[in-house]
Amino acid sequence: MSYEWGDTLFRTRDEMLDAIAEGWATALGHASPAETLRNFHEATDAELAAAAIDGWGLDQPRGRRFSLDGERPSHMTEHEYTAADLAEAFARVRAWHEQNAPQSD
């Protein structure tokens, strides 16, 4: 099975989930490191996962890929993950950002 998010293919489901979590926490790379850490400090991993699912419609059926196709299942269904799986990805991404945060003087 291949895993896709944002027109990028990933080798594993965890790599894809980490990319989703990273994208949400960093506003797709637009948030500063301080803003990213603040995002993590203001919500639990489960809350961040729920916000990403709702905000990006990850649990909603997707449109047709081609005109003759039927409606596609949700991203979560197609790639076989749950809100708890995404929360675990937020925990991994949170730990990385906390460990690699710029040190203030």
Inform me whether the pLDDT recorded for 2 exceeds 90: no
CA angle 6, 48, 89 (to 5 degrees): 65
Tokens of residue 49, six digits: 């996962």
Query: Is residue 74 within 8 Å of 2, Cβ to Cβ?
Result: no
Any idea what DSSP says for residue 63?
Answer: -
Q: How far, in Å, CA of 56 to CA of 54, rounded?
A: 6
- What is the SS3 assignment for 53? helix
Query: Higher model confidence: residue 87 or residue 68?
Result: 87
Span 37-52, pLDDT tens digits: 998 999 999 999 999 9
92 bridge partner residues: none
Mean per-residue pLDDT over the chain, rounded: 89
Strands 8-10 and 3-5: antiparallel
The reported pTM is 0.87
Span 75-102, pLDDT tens digits: 999 999 999 999 999 999 999 988 987 7
Query: Is residue 3 within 8 Å of 9, Cβ to Cβ?
Result: yes
